[in-house]
Amino acid sequence: MEPPSSTSKADIASDFADECNNADTLEELEEILESLSDSDAQHSPDNGDAENGDADDRPHPDVDGQSDMEEDALIEEAKEQMPSDAEVEEMTTKLKERGIIAWLQEYVVQRRVPLKRLLLAYGIVLTPETAALDEVIHLRLLKAALTRVLRKREKLEAYNTIDDVLVLLKRSKRVMVLTGAGISVSCGIPDFRSRDGIYAMLADKPELQLDDPQQMFDIDYFKENPAIFYSFASHIYPSKFKPSPCHHFIKLLEDKNILLRNYTQNIDTLEHAAGVRRVLQCHGSFATATCVQCGEHVAGQAIEADILAQRIPYCSSPRCAPANTQPALRRVKKKPPKPKGAKPWEVDEEEDELVGILAAPGIMKPDITFFGEKLTDDFDRLLFEDREKVDLLLIMGTSLAVAPVADVLSHIPHSVPQVLINKTPVAHANTDVMLLGDADTIVQYICDELGWTLPGVDSRKRRAAAAEPRRVGASHVWLFEGSEGGRWLQRFQDGVCMGTSTQTVKRLRVV
């Protein structure tokens, strides 16, 4: 019998190349890394070697065990091996424009650049212990470093004014619109995080006994106590609401054939009510519902009466209904009767008894994405396609607080202009132009300036009553009616007036 052959690092790299070249989304890439961790790592040359011991006996990184002198020595040695500033700049430009998958395919798969050198390019110095670990661990460290770089988008200095926004809308052909609850507030649907939003409403309802308002939309909590969700769902059910000017603005972009896609985090389906066709409801909607027990899929109207009546809707599928009429035998504990004259403490042991219990049918759940549930595959697939086409990103009515939708900004090419239209600033999103205020007022103003007709709005009356927007110094921030900047805006205004700036200093980190 032939001795078992050891798999070389070149073989591992080749396998990774094949899988990586077939990866179309970040989620698929993560699955590849997971599989490499589970399978390829056990074939590395050091594993199973009697001299090195088992994999669990190998040293693990212990940064705290490194003295300051040792760390300084590692950093000095790393500086001699680091790529040049020009090389790092080229790498980073490609990363920001092409994304993680294409970047890994070029530098790891095609060019076979050593992972340690790529890590050095982004300021990560490996200790001898970490360097001895399997390469899949180094890949994960690299992916984390690349993700951190992508999240630090630099503002495009060419765009700062409202006129710049108007020019962008005139010349753009593939506009991606990312929307949140803020565009539906004027319709009567509360947003989530404002002082009058859904979470504030839930916090004022002690009878719900929620440890945290977000429990209302937690999938595990829903399965345990669906009555809590259905006691509140009627407040956000879309049957009685009509689209806002923001929804009509998105439809206007589509009618002008410049809407690439509307990625909405909203579950109210008001985009459909406005007639928008190129829309992806990232967090699902009330349009359909599914039985949590048998998987029966129905139109949302089938459970509408139950939602409005604040009662739990049950599945009527034959796969669930028989359970409501045919008793199931279950073993339960039953105490035997006490003999006459027995003392209270003289209790016989419980006995098991088989009894027939009516099993309840499954509960219907609207197809909205709860905390703890994954987004649909359509999100990754369409974003991967659209990132190659988009030439303008509009962010409207969202605080970008929930991943992975919030990460859209970092995963499209960084050279694509980004414009924020929101009531409050989004400090962690370094957009190119920030239009703060009532979103409906802002889109109406934009349409007036462009000579576009927004359905259902008398622009002459609106323009006569509305105040003109105010620019913060010579910055990219503009204030419309209804803006709420808070402490961030005050600090920003102070910084603009003082002419302060920040400069990032690159530092090496030992891991």
3-state secondary structure of 478: strand
Q: Do the beta carbons of residue 138 and residue 115 sit within 8 Å?
A: yes
Q: Do the beta carbons of residue 450 and residue 499 sit within 8 Å?
A: no
Rg (CA), the chain: 29
Instruction: Report, as residue numbers or ranges, the catalytic residues.
Output: 283
Give kind and range of the element (H or E) at residue 407.
none
N-term to C-term CA, the chain = 43
Q: Do the beta carbons of residue 102 and residue 144 sit within 8 Å?
A: no
497 is in an annotated binding site: no
Give kind and range of the element (H or E) at residue 236.
none
- Tell me the β-bridge partners of 510: 125
246 is in an annotated binding site: no
Q: Do the beta carbons of residue 16 and residue 109 sit within 8 Å?
A: yes
Q: Do the beta carbons of residue 478 and residue 425 sit within 8 Å?
A: no
**Residue spans of alpha helices (H) in 407-504:** 408-411, 439-450, 459-465, 486-498
CA–CA separation, 110 and 4 (whole Å)? 29
Looking only at the bridges linking them, the beta strands covering 259-264 and 175-179 are parallel
- Tell me the β-bridge partners of 298: 289
Q: Which residues are annotated as a binding site?
A: 291, 294, 315, 320
Q: Which residues are annotated as a binding site for Zn(2+)?
A: 291, 294, 315, 320
